Amino acid sequence: MKVILNQLIKILGLLPCLLWGVGPYCLFTPPTEFAFANPKNYSSGVKIAFIGKSNASFTPSLNLTIEENNVSLSEYLKIAEKTYKSEGARWVDLGDIEVKGGTVRLTRVDTKCSWADISFFQAIYPWEGKFFILTTAAHKKEFMRLQKTFLNAIYSLQIVDNLTLAVEDPARREELQEILKEENMSTLEKNLKEKYSDLGLYWQTLVFKECLKNE
């Protein structure tokens, strides 16, 4: 199903303030088959979330949270382990992995809720006194099937100070700067979708929203 960017501005308008050129932005590329979750349903601390489709009793999801914490990563992991295990969950530290923007710590949790057994990865990205945490969750029986999809989203993680910096190639970034001068929003939307689809719907929509604000 094709998703039109300008139909998502209302959703993004409900999100915590994301200002053009004011970082850091923690970016990732959600799976193409996942859609924006309604911010009215977000848990505390969630900044952005996407949901997939499933016949299971638990809908697969990705969400990004930001925690301000002055503790070290090792201390943060000890707190997380203690918290999850106190709730009867299985918590495993999977070690460091390399993602697009550097090194993150990956953990896995297996737990239960009242209606399903749930498994999820948490990619923990320490950055200037904050922890950016990407959580990818699914029903335990579907987790292995979705593992590659979840890991691809995690591997795309990066933190940038400006949305244009997500474009690595200098020529493409220069072209983007020209595209952003476009005053016709329909043309801008078309160019973002056609020329920068590799950066994902999340990034495209943030850029489109900021252009609307500055119109």
Q: With the C-alpha atoms ordered 48, 30, 106, 88, is the resulting torsion angle positive or negative?
A: positive
pTM across the whole model:
0.84
Cβ count near 156 (within 10 Å) = 21
Closest CA to 146 of 41, 54, 38: 54
Give the architecture-level CATH label for domain 34-160: 3-Layer(aba) Sandwich (3.40)
Statement: residue 16 has pLDDT above 50: no
Within 13 A of 64's CA, how many CA atoms are on the CB side? 22
Question: Any idea where the domains of the chain sit in the sequence?
Answer: 1-23+162-215, 34-160
Q: What is the pLDDT of residue 88?
A: 94
> Which contiguous run of DSSP H or E holds residue 91?
strand 90-99
Statement: residue 210 has pLDDT above 80: no
The pLDDT tens digits for 26-43 are 999 999 889 888 888 888
